[in-house]
Amino acid sequence: MSISTPAARNGRRPSVKDVAERAQVSLGTVSNVLNRPDRVSAGTRERVERAMADLGFVLNESARQLRMGRSNTFAYVMLDATNPFFTDVARGIELAAEKADLSLFLCNSDGRDARESAHLAHLQQQRVDGILITPVDPDAPELARITAQGTPLVIVDRANTAGAFCSVTVDDRLGGRVAIEHLVDRGHTRVAYVGGPWSLGQVRERWEGSRAAWDDAGLAEADLIHVATEALSFEEGRIAGERIAGLPRRSRPSAVFCANDLIALGLLQQVVSTGQRVPEDLAIVGYDDIAFAAGAAVPLTSVRQPRQSLGRTAAELLIDEVNNPDHEHQQVEFTPELIARTSTLG
């Protein structure tokens, strides 16, 4: 038998008042069943729960939490949702949030300032307890404004130069250095660094580490070239591969170091599709060591970042900042590791 209720007839969600009327109890009794069930007798509690089930009542948890001054929700604004590196970081954040019984919103700035700003404004309106972000610019004034307005914020995979926030990073200059040192050790004396845009700090710092290692090896400055890309994407890697193949043979590099694995995998595909051999004709090093690197047609040498550890550590810092009145900002830096595979070893 179907019982029509006033809420159902009006096409609205059943309210606490509807439940109280159905169970023939006071609003306070329904509130106690929802929040302090130990204060309600078993028989009354069963009657209220049955009324909830009959009406299809769903507790508005977000409204209840906001009345208490908390949403129990974090958000992560990632730089590029198409890059498996950031989804792995998000997984680490999610694991820490789950352990703390928190929900997690995921947002994608797509590397655009305006989109990042729109996400941040919306998240503040939603009253999230804290924000994790891999920002387009870690020194953007907007980040400081958000914390000044009371929303804790942790920077992931970058660092604010003033140390104004907690941050979790990897030493990208060291990552660039170990990549170039590996190629120099393999006998390469003309190398291309493939990456962009230059506005991304990761791209600049990996280049700076590469240049430092190259200079320390005593090699000619002109023999470490920069092949710029518009994005850190698979397609840009293919385009870069075509550009390198079009260079005069005498100036063509024997190896490339790519600013991330997506570029490296796109370049690898382009090189193999033209009949060239990796690493005999062109050695390739990527960065991040995403899962696809080891499973590529030619397993890819890559600089590994501890992706899930980055996310988990950042989330733990944010949890501490939200809950601990004595919290002090920390800047955590992980050490990258070169994972050598067939694309340079043969």
**CATH number of the CATH domain containing 157:** 3.40.50.2300
* Number of domains composing the chain: 3
Residues 215, 324, single domain; the answer is no
pLDDT for residue 108 = 97
Closest C-alpha among 135, 274, 116, 248 to residue 190: 248
Residue 212 within a domain:
yes
Q: How many Cβ atoms from other residues are within 10 Å of residue 28's Cβ?
A: 10
Residue 66 within a domain:
no
- Once rounded to an integer, what is the mean pLDDT over residues 299-327? 97
Examine the pLDDT at 62 and tell me if it is beyond 80: no
Q: Are 332 and 165 in contact (CB under 8 A)?
A: no
* Percent of the chain surpassing pLDDT 90: 81
pLDDT for residue 63 = 55
Q: Is 218 exposed, middle or buried (0-12, 13-18, 19+ CB in 10 A)?
A: exposed
Q: Which residue spans within 216-315 are E strands per DSSP? A: 224-228, 255-258, 283-288, 301-304
* Residue showing tokens 């995403």: 290
Residues 229, 271, single domain; the answer is yes
Residues 33, 157, single domain; the answer is no
**Residue 11 pLDDT grade (very low, low, confident, very high; cuts 50, 70, 90):** low
pLDDT for residue 2 = 41
Which residues are CB-contacts of 345 (< 8 A; sequence separation ≥ 6)? 186, 279, 301
**CATH number of the CATH domain containing 10:** 1.10.260.40
* CA-to-CA dists, residue 233 to 30, 83, 301, 333, angstroms: 54, 8, 17, 25
Residues 262, 147, single domain; the answer is no
Residues 138, 284, single domain; the answer is no
**Residue 269 pLDDT grade (very low, low, confident, very high; cuts 50, 70, 90):** very high
Which of 15, 31, 59 is the endpoint of a domain?
59
pLDDT for residue 163 = 87
Residue 18 within a domain:
yes
**Residue 162 pLDDT grade (very low, low, confident, very high; cuts 50, 70, 90):** confident
Residues 216, 298, single domain; the answer is yes
Residues 187, 295, single domain; the answer is yes
pLDDT for residue 8 = 46
pLDDT for residue 1 = 36
- The 283-288 sheet, strands edge to edge: 224-228, 191-195, 255-258, 283-288, 301-304, 337-339
Examine the pLDDT at 61 and tell me if it is beyond 70: no
DSSP state of 300: P
Q: Are 203 and 231 in contact (CB under 8 A)?
A: no
- Once rounded to an integer, what is the mean pLDDT over residues 230-248? 96
Residue 120 within a domain:
yes
Q: What is the pLDDT of residues 99-140, one digit of tens each?
A: 999 999 999 999 999 999 999 999 998 889 999 999 999 999
* Cα of 183 vs its chain's centroid, Å: 29
pTM of the full structure: 0.81
CA distance 345 to 183: 10
Q: Are 277 and 346 in contact (CB under 8 A)?
A: no
Residues 176, 218, single domain; the answer is yes
Q: What is the pLDDT of residues 184-225, one digit of tens each?
A: 999 999 999 999 999 999 999 999 999 999 999 999 999 999
The boundaries of the domain holding residue 228 are 172-306+338-345
